[in-house]
Structure 1
Amino acid sequence: MPRPFRQFIVKMHGRCNLACTYCYLYEGPDHTWRTRPATASARVLERTADRIARHARAHALTTVSLVLHGGEPLLAGADTLARFTDDVRARVPAGCAVQATVQTNATVLTRERAAVLARHDIRVGISLDGGTAAHNARRVDHAGRPSWPAAARGARMVAEYFPQSYAGVLTVVDPTTDPVGTYESLLALRPPALDLLLPHGNWSAPPPHCGGARHGAWLCRVFDRWWSAGRRETRVRLFEECLALLLGLPAATESLGLQPFDALVIETDGSIEQTDSLKSAYEGAAETGLDVFRHDFDQALRHPGVAARQAGLAALAGRCRACPLVTVCGGGHYAHRYRAGKGFENPSVYCADLQLFIQHVAGRLAADARGECPAAPASLERGTP
């Protein structure tokens, strides 16, 4: 049976006030965003809230995750985000908790807007490349001006005045940067949690600096810093989930493991889509042909693309199914498996990185259990960035 959707990513605004040079959404192969309205209308939001509530009721869900997304979602207005969240909460059945988060670049996040979000129990996730201006050199506005001053003000303001609303920071791994320096710069922003994501890319359009397991080596260095500090400084979701999977515990993540993926996107025009990461593969890769006006979310569960992402081991390439790390790796991020002409039934373009990282974490876990100090992997000893 398909697993019901539990995470609903709603595009509140389809444009962004930044023009990050590496953005896979606006600079990648998919241009469907150009044909959609900039802002989700009240009609789209009302219908979306109703569909979420119906899905929660049909599957007796006790919790759903509501991610207010974009573009830059705050361009739709904090009050709009608050009204929509309140509407979803009013419609879902009793006993179903709605955990709401806005994912923002923080440049337009004022104290007044943060107060609105806090009053309506909407947590704030912030996207940054690191905790300094130098780390964020590629995050510029449409006139080429740096975004860091405004983003830093927003992040520090949330940490100072609304810590209960601070969900954490999302950062894309850049193996050309100093891993420990980047991690420590982010700690200065006091995030309660940190998401480290590999840059989107695939076999036909490789991500920057791919090869030689450089991304994996970067993650290993940050893991060692985090592990040595006793994991007290902040939560790092990728690390925690890797450890859980190594210990045989369930973990839900798009990047690791074999758990069925349970997220869905609602675009500004009401289109129902798979997650944005697929747009890094080719034009229309995330499309389902469904929308909130004519279709319920159970119909999306039966879409072949969604079914493939819920098929677990059966959806993986033969090489992956035979790999001893498969229960932890899970084949890697679905979008990273794509190869033109062969679809998604391939190992991840980050296969070598994931092997290095998972084996390193397993080694640290085993060595600590024995009270030993493990040797660094060969690629780390060579000083790979």
Structure 2
Amino acid sequence: MGLEQKKENIEHLEIVLKISERCNLNCDYCYVFNKGNSAAEDSPARINKNNVRHLVTFLHKASQQYNIKTLKIDFHGGEPLLMNKRHFADMCECLLKGHYQGSKLMLALQTNGILIDEEWIALFECYSVSVNISLDGPKYINDRHRLDHQGRSSYLQTVSGLQKLQKAHRQGRLPFSPGILSVANPQADGAEIYRHFVDVLGVTHFDFLLPDDCYKDTAILPFEIGRFLNDALNEWIKDDDPHIAVRLFNSHIASLLGNMNEGFLGHTPNVYGVYAFTVGSDGLIRVDDTLRSTSDDIFNPIGHISCLGLSDVLHDVKFKEYAQLALSLPVECEQCIWKNVCAGGRLVNRFSTDQRFQRKSVYCYSMRMLLSRISAHLLDMGVKESRIIKAIGQ
């Protein structure tokens, strides 16, 4: 009798699942609809039951082939709540009934919050879906970019949805308090945005995203994002509240303290057994969803979820290139003292039409500003300089 082949360990497998590829907002910075790529409009408006079943089969086979600790499905769009509620319930039922060889399955959802009502809350409660809200700050800031298709504000409706989720969490109906995902605004005050989230909206965990800009975009303000982030960071440090988590800050602090496995995993697929990719409403698998805005060949479909196994995806030339690019540094970054922490920045921010992903991030200087300020705060807290120097590899 031959020896059974030992299965490879995967710490975390994450699928960005496009359940609705249309949106009720028209955010001018949206990488899905307003960055020149038509993949969303060319896809079915909603995912169908067959593609959900194919995903369950795919995950079942993946869990047989690999030891996967956690499986996470991120319901995404467009706006995912444009999906019919009955179909959403059927989808959750189907996913939760899958056999994943002991892997822990988690369901999450990113929404603009406008459509949240009691029926949606009941569905999130029933299927233990963790929900995060997209919001950029107080009304006059949010209205600069996050308007509907008639040019009307979305702020009050989004906040209403957030408050419904918060109430349900306080009642014990939802396991997680809703967080906020906010795009950093170079023309806004980071301290004001932070205080609005914490003091006005009562949110205790959120994240700031760098805009999905690259060298194709114009009017980029390379230093102002750094100013925004540092102003928000200063407020967070001043609060000194362990219950308030800002993912961007927490992850870079972990890296500067030498805890690289707790750092910004989005830069380094596979290094710590973490894999992620996108499945569209059409069932097609692609790499990192934000790369659609580049319209580069790397975002071309790998194949259909019904025809591939996880091993096929991980060994596909596009996925392997994606992983290699995320691990490699642009030549411009090789002498930078922050290269081990920044890792060259997000791939989308490195893209140019002529050199693809070989440029430094368009927000390089902003990230240098942020990492310098975080290091200064750590030194003020009593962290030894030698520890930070060791972490950055100097």
Q: How does 1:68-217 map to 2 (within 5 A)?
A: 68-163=75-170, 164-187=175-198, 188-206=200-218, 208-211=219-222, 213-217=223-227
Q: How does 1:280-359 map to 2 (within 5 A)?
A: 280-282=293-295, 285-311=298-324, 315-359=328-372
CA deviation map 1:14-43 (0-9, x unaligned) = 100111122121011211222211010100
- 1:242–1:256: 8 Å Cα contact kept in structure 2? no
1:304 Cα deviation after fit: 2.9
CA deviation map 1:326-346 (0-9, x unaligned) = 111011001111111211122
CA deviation map 1:256-291 (0-9, x unaligned) = 568646211100110101122102212665223411
- 1:131–1:189: 8 Å Cα contact kept in structure 2? no
Question: Residue 236 of structure 1: which of 234, 246, 249 is its match?
Answer: 246
- 1:82–1:117: 8 Å Cα contact kept in structure 2? no
Distance 1:350 1:93 in 2: 40
Deviates more, 1:246-255 or 1:290-299: 246-255
Distance 1:294 1:311 in 2: 24
Q: Could you say what secondary structure the match of 1:65 adopts?
A: strand
Q: How does 1:49-64 map to 2 (within 5 A)?
A: 49-64=56-71
Q: How does 1:6-25 map to 2 (within 5 A)?
A: 6-25=13-32
Amino acid at match of 1:278: L
Distance 1:69 1:360 in 2: 33
Deviates more, 1:248-257 or 1:178-187: 248-257
CA deviation map 1:27-61 (0-9, x unaligned) = 11211222211010100111012112222332111
Distance 1:98 1:2 in 2: 16
Map of 1:374 onto structure 2: none
CA deviation map 1:218-270 (0-9, x unaligned) = 11111111011113352100000000000111135355568646211100110
- Distance change (3 Å), C-alpha of 1:30 and 1:169: same
Distance 1:40 1:103 in 2: 16
Amino acid at match of 2:254: A
- 1:259–1:312: 8 Å Cα contact kept in structure 2? no
| Count of residue pairs the alignment pairs up | 370
Amino acid at match of 2:233: F
Distance 1:210 1:169 in 2: 24
1:300 Cα deviation after fit: 1.6
Amino acid at match of 1:230: D
- 2:286–2:299: 8 Å Cα contact kept in structure 1? yes
- Distance change (3 Å), C-alpha of 1:55 and 1:370: closer
Distance 1:50 1:192 in 2: 37
- Distance change (3 Å), C-alpha of 1:68 and 1:200: same
- 2:60–2:101: 8 Å Cα contact kept in structure 1? no
Distance 2:25 2:126 in 1: 27
Matched, 1:369 2:385: no
Amino acid at match of 1:42: K
Distance 2:89 2:43 in 1: 23
Distance 1:74 1:313 in 2: 32
Distance 2:119 2:318 in 1: 41
CA deviation map 1:162-221 (0-9, x unaligned) = 353434110000021111111111122222310100001112224x5422x110121111
- Distance change (3 Å), C-alpha of 1:314 and 1:322: farther
Q: How does 1:35-46 map to 2 (within 5 A)?
A: 35-46=42-53
- 2:59–2:100: 8 Å Cα contact kept in structure 1? no
- Distance change (3 Å), C-alpha of 1:270 and 1:313: closer
> What's the TM-score once normalised by structure 1's chain length?
0.89
Return 5+ residue gaps in structure 1 as ranges: 372-385
- Distance change (3 Å), C-alpha of 1:216 and 1:2: farther
Distance 1:291 1:280 in 2: 21
CA deviation map 1:282-338 (0-9, x unaligned) = 266522341112222321212233223323775221232332211110110011111
Deviates more, 1:256-265 or 1:155-164: 256-265
Amino acid at match of 2:369: L
CA deviation map 1:74-113 (0-9, x unaligned) = 1113443333233223224242111111110000011221
Matched, 1:223 2:239: no
1:71 Cα deviation after fit: 0.6
- Distance change (3 Å), C-alpha of 1:98 and 1:36: same
- Distance change (3 Å), C-alpha of 1:141 and 1:56: same
- 1:338–1:345: 8 Å Cα contact kept in structure 2? yes
CA RMSD of aligned residues (A): 2.4
- Distance change (3 Å), C-alpha of 1:65 and 1:109: same
- 2:206–2:246: 8 Å Cα contact kept in structure 1? yes
- Distance change (3 Å), C-alpha of 1:196 and 1:189: same
Q: Could you say what secondary structure the match of 1:288 adopts?
A: coil
